[in-house]
């Protein structure tokens, strides 16, 4: 199941969740009406009393039932909307609600630095911005989760137990598992599910609060009003268990198969089954397992492992089954040996290298095939991770530190846009000084001196690394940064396609990080709805990637062969490509997932047609895909160099 099929599955699951949620609401409303009838004496407790027909009972108490039904639906609906609205600020909000603390970019703690390195490598390999990183300091169990509506507002959180008990390979497997949820649309469903579950669980919370805090609860049973309130409170708590039943059923139905898929994706990410397998085995043998002290009822479906012991409707498959799917040779007896070894080693400090070995030559076996590119969208392989690690290592330390810094992240973006011409570069630096101040200009010059001009393959990774720090700045400051970026691009009197797309990617991710609830990852349109826009984008890629007009035409036709479009489709002449892309890309973002797959395959054929796989061309394809919400994995920037040497 590839990235686009996962998106279709996510849309179907969302519709299915709506149906089940409606059924849960109907069951709860019916139960509330029954409790109200009992409390008001409409239904007699005396079995000898004559039973009133149901239809007559409803008609005689219609105003009462209408009021209770309306009140129940209103409480559930408003509670769900309130909870969903409270999560609109992004995945970090979910982490903070659980008491997690943000991992600062300049942290000196070895475990947190290792965590940050692992998250950044997987993010760069996946082609998405680096998410916010959190640690649940008070939790000794081994667990993790990813939260957010989109990759732009995503957050990844791990427990202190995961940091301290897992080695680098195991931590990498856990983080890769969470990135599978980010890339495949699971994360968005999880957040929506949190809002829906809060609504159907709220009645139980109200009943518990009334029962515990109402002074009427302690009154004598002879106090009729007190007895009524007490009965209602007990009834609401009982009804709450109906909501709990439905909530756990929904979570179990949604989560179990996705956990298997995420485990498999983690193995493909890391090409090391022992990583995620080892993490699951440690969960099985440690006494605190994956359980959390925090109340996990709302987020249990988002966690890497079970957040609490569940007797019914567990959100996760049994650990032995998960381990067995990853390691077919697994025997439960291995857990006893692992427990004994852990007990012997608990007195030692974990010694892990801070960086993986840089297998540069291996990483150079790039994705120069459209089918391989499609297969690895949302689940890049080990070579992409090694390539990401290699590119991250190639960035000078002062530049990397500045990208992590909230103070200097904007200057990293300016640095990434510096021109190779000394005259134009000086003009750009003057623009930075005029718009952002002399301190900003001095920092950009310092970055230039420390790292030299950024190489083309470093530019998008620099954006992705700097993004978490940049989005924490105030909106008015971010607007100044974006205006300065535009000025730097316009400094030479012409706009390079990649520079244009880089600026659009920055703007898109920043806007989405502040408005995640308004983002749609896919739409309902098909290719025939946007024939002209598709042809224009393909023509722009073909002409900018091939200097020879005949080669450009051949590349365009190669891409066209992947599309089943009707009519005479000659390569159009695009006079104003900036205006054409501004018009076309937002429209193409409305394509349904299956048609986006066809479009990306066609664009890949255009770029890869002549076999001259230049760095700017491949990164241009990544940027275009980013703008239509397709996270293209990092493409090899090394093979072309090795071929030319």
Q: Where in the sequence numbering do the catalytic residues fall? A: 178
Cβ neighbours around 576 below 10 Å, total: 9
Which residues neighbour 224 within 8 Å (Cβ) at sequence distance 6 or greater? none
Distance in angstroms (rounded) separating the CA atoms of residues 238 and 305: 28
Distance in angstroms (rounded) separating the CA atoms of residues 613 and 608: 6
- Decide if 581 contacts 500 (C-beta within 8 A): yes
Which residues neighbour 352 within 8 Å (Cβ) at sequence distance 6 or greater? 114, 167, 168
User: Angle, to 10 degrees, between the axis of helix 224-270 and the axis of helix 382-394?
Assistant: 80
Distance in angstroms (rounded) separating the CA atoms of residues 581 and 537: 7
List the one residue out of 268, 338, 283, 335 whose CA is nearest residue 166. Answer: 283
The values of phi and psi at residue 626, to 5°, are -60, -40
Which residues neighbour 259 within 8 Å (Cβ) at sequence distance 6 or greater? 316, 317, 322
Looking from the CA of 170 toward its CB, the CA atoms found within 13 Å total: 22
Distance in angstroms (rounded) separating the CA atoms of residues 54 and 37: 12
Distance in angstroms (rounded) separating the CA atoms of residues 543 and 336: 62
List the one residue out of 429, 508, 496, 497 whose CA is nearest residue 463. Answer: 508
CA dihedral of residues 498, 502, 505, 506 (deg, nearest 10): -170
- According to DSSP, residue 552 is labeled H
Distance in angstroms (rounded) separating the CA atoms of residues 30 and 245: 15
Q: Where in 467-547 does DSSP place strands (E)?
A: none
List the one residue out of 145, 139, 173 whose CA is nearest residue 159. Answer: 139
Tokens of 418: 């510096």
Buried b (16+ CB within 10 A) or exposed e, 551-563: bbbebbbbbbebb
CA dihedral of residues 127, 130, 136, 142 (deg, nearest 10): 30
- Decide if 403 contacts 409 (C-beta within 8 A): yes
Q: Concatenate the DSSP letters of all residues of 110-155 into one string.
A: HHHHHHHHHHHHHHHHHTSPPPEEEEETT--S--EEEE-SSGGG-E
Tokens of 52: 């009133």
Tokens of 122: 């997987």
Largest CA distance in the chain: 100
């Amino acid at each position: 199941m590839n990235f686009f099929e996962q998106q279709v599955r996510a849309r179907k699951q969302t519709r299915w969740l709506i149906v089940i949620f409606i059924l849960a609401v109907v069951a709860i409303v019916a139960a509330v009406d029954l409790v109200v009838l009992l409390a008001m004496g409409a239904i007699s407790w005396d079995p000898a009393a004559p039973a009133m027909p149901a239809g007559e009972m409803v008609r005689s108490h219609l105003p009462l039932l209408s009021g209770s039904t309306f009140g129940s639906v209103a409480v559930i609906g408003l509670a769900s909307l309130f909870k969903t609205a409270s999560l609109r600020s992004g995945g970090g909000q979910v982490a903070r609600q659980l008491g997690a603390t943000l991992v600062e970019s300049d942290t000196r703690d070895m475990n947190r630095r290792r965590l940050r390195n692992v998250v950044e490598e997987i993010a760069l390999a996946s082609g998405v911005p680096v998410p916010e990183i959190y640690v649940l300091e008070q939790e000794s169990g081994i667990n993790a989760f990813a939260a957010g509506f989109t990759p732009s507002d995503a957050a990844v959180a791990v427990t202190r137990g995961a940091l301290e008990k897992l080695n680098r390979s195991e931590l990498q497997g856990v983080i890769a598992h969470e990135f599978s949820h980010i890339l495949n649309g699971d994360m968005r469903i999880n957040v929506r599910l949190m809002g829906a579950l809060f609504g159907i669980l709220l009645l139980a919370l109200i009943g518990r609060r009334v029962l515990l805090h109402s002074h009427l609860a302690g009154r004598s049973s002879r106090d009729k009003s007190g007895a009524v309130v007490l009965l209602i409170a007990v009834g609401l708590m009982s009804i709450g268990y109906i909501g709990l039943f439905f909530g756990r059923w929904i979570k179990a139905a949604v989560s179990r198969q996705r956990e298997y898929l995420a485990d498999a994706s983690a193995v493909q990410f890391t090409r090391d089954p022992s990583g995620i397998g080892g993490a699951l085995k440690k969960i099985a043998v440690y006494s605190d397992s994956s359980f959390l002290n925090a109340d996990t009822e709302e987020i249990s479906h988002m966690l890497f492992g079970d957040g609490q012991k569940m007797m019914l409707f567990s959100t996760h498959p049994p650990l032995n089954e998960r381990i067995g799917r990853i390691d077919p040779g697994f025997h439960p007896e291995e857990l006893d040996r692992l427990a004994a070894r852990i007990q012997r080693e608990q007195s030692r400090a974990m010694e892990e290298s801070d960086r993986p070995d840089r297998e540069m030559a291996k990483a150079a076996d790039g994705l120069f095939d459209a089918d391989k590119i499609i297969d690895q969208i949302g689940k890049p392989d080990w070579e992409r991770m090694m390539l990401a690690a290699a590119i991250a290592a190639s960035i000078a330390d002062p530049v990397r530190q500045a990208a992590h810094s909230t103070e200097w992240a904007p200057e990293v973006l300016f640095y990434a846009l510096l021109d190779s011409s000394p005259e134009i570069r000086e003009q750009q630096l003057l623009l930075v000084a005029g718009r952002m101040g002399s301190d900003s200009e001095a920092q950009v010059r310092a970055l230039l001196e420390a790292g030299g001009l950024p190489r083309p393959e470093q530019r998008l990774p620099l954006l992705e690394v700097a993004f978490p720090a940049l989005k924490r700045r105030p909106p008015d400051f971010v607007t100044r940064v974006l205006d300065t970026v535009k000025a730097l691009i316009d400094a030479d009197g012409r706009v390079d396609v990649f520079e244009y797309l880089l600026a659009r990617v920055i703007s898109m991710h920043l806007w989405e990080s502040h408005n995640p609830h308004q983002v749609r990852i896919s739409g309902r349109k098909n290719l025939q709805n946007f024939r002209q826009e598709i042809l224009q984008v393909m023509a722009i890629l073909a002409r900018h990637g091939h200097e020879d007009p005949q080669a450009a035409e051949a590349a365009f036709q190669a891409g066209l062969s992947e599309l089943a479009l009707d009519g005479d489709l000659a390569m159009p002449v695009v006079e104003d490509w900036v205006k054409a892309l501004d018009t076309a890309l937002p429209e193409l973002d409305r394509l349904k997932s299956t048609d986006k797959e066809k479009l990306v395959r066609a664009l890949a054929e255009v770029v890869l047609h002549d076999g001259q796989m230049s760095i700017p061309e491949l990164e241009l394809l990544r940027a275009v895909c980013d703008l239509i919400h397709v996270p293209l994995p990092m493409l090899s920037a090394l093979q072309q160099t090795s071929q030319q040497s």
